[in-house]
Amino acid sequence: MNASVKPEFSPAAQAEIQRLIGHYPAERSKSALLPILHIAQAEFGGWVSPEVQDLVAETLGIKPIEVYEVSSFYTMYNLKPVGKHVLEICRTGPCMLRGSDEMTAHLERITGAKVGETSPDGNFTLKEVECLAACGFAPIVQVREKYYEQLDTPEAVDAMLDELRGLVHRPILSWEETGLPNSLSL
């Protein structure tokens, strides 16, 4: 994004933001900050720049610092540019017991990115996160609205990467729009 151009929300995002603000009492619209930051991140390339955060502050009528202190607290907000797909790799105990160390090593080998980096082709940012609440299907990677589960073989990891390489990157605002299969099993 060109820093000199002030970012603006698309009409679809603006409508969604107004719907969300309506969920809270009139004088409590700041409550919509977390959901609006999610929308902003989806709108502006998977991360929230200072300019985008200022736009969020303006939208809610709050001070920029009130956005910065929140965006820096929660791990889902990316404060630096990211690749097309951010792979949120679970590293916590239950995933480790089922092979997340090996899964992560394989991901690093195949993508050419270390954890915390973006692959040279710009496709994948590897981000280690803590427990994703899917421990029975470990090891797990979360990519946007999808959980990739039981990635306990190189083949399973490769299949995930292949699927992601074929996806078109665009802002996602509704579940229907994603068209991704839901990964549940009980």
Partner 1 sequence: MGRKLLTEHINVEGIDTMAVYRQHGGYRSVEKALKTMTPDEVVEEVKKSGLRGRGGAGFPTGMKWSFLAKPEGVPRYLVCNADESEPGTFKDRQLMSKLPHLLIEGMITSSYALGANTSYIYIRGELLYVLRILEKAVAEAYAAGFLGKNILGSGYDLDLHIHPGAGAYICGEETALLESLEGKRGNPRNKPPFPAVSGLYARPTVVNNVESIAAVPVIVNEGGEEYAKIGIGKSTGTKLISACGHVKNPGIYEIEMGVPVEEFIYSDEYCGGIWKGRELKAVVAGGSSVPILPKSLILKTAAGEPRLMTYESLSDGGFVTGTMLGSGGFIAMDETTCIVKNTWNFSRFYHHESCGQCSPCREGTGWLEKVLHRLEHGHGQMHDIDLIVNVAKQIEGNTICPLGEAAAWPVTAAVRHFRDEFEWHVTHPHEATRPGAVYHGGLVLA
Residue numbers at the binding site for partner 1 (CB under 8 A) = 23-25, 28, 30-35, 37-38, 60, 62, 66, 69-70, 73-77, 88, 91-94, 96-98, 129-138, 142, 144-147, 174-175, 180, 182, 184, 186
If the CB atoms of residues 74 and 121 are measured against partner 1, the closer one turns out to be 74
Between CA 52 and CA 44 the distance in angstroms is 8
What are phi and psi for residue 46, nearest 5 degrees?
Answer: 85, 5
Between CA 175 and CA 152 the distance in angstroms is 27
Between CA 73 and CA 66 the distance in angstroms is 11
For the bound state, the minimum distance from the C-beta of residue 101 to partner 1, rounded and expressed in Å, comes to 10
Counting Cα atoms < 13 Å in the Cβ hemisphere of 162 gives 6
For the bound state, the minimum distance from the C-beta of residue 171 to partner 1, rounded and expressed in Å, comes to 13
For the bound state, the minimum distance from the C-beta of residue 73 to partner 1, rounded and expressed in Å, comes to 4
Counting Cα atoms < 13 Å in the Cβ hemisphere of 148 gives 24
For the bound state, the minimum distance from the C-beta of residue 164 to partner 1, rounded and expressed in Å, comes to 16
If the CB atoms of residues 9 and 137 are measured against partner 1, the closer one turns out to be 137
If the CB atoms of residues 35 and 45 are measured against partner 1, the closer one turns out to be 35
For the bound state, the minimum distance from the C-beta of residue 27 to partner 1, rounded and expressed in Å, comes to 9
Which helix (H) or strand (E) element contains residue 171? none
CB atoms within 10 A of CB 15: 12
If the CB atoms of residues 18 and 112 are measured against partner 1, the closer one turns out to be 18
Angle between helices 64-71 and 33-43 (to 10 degrees): 80
If the CB atoms of residues 80 and 121 are measured against partner 1, the closer one turns out to be 80
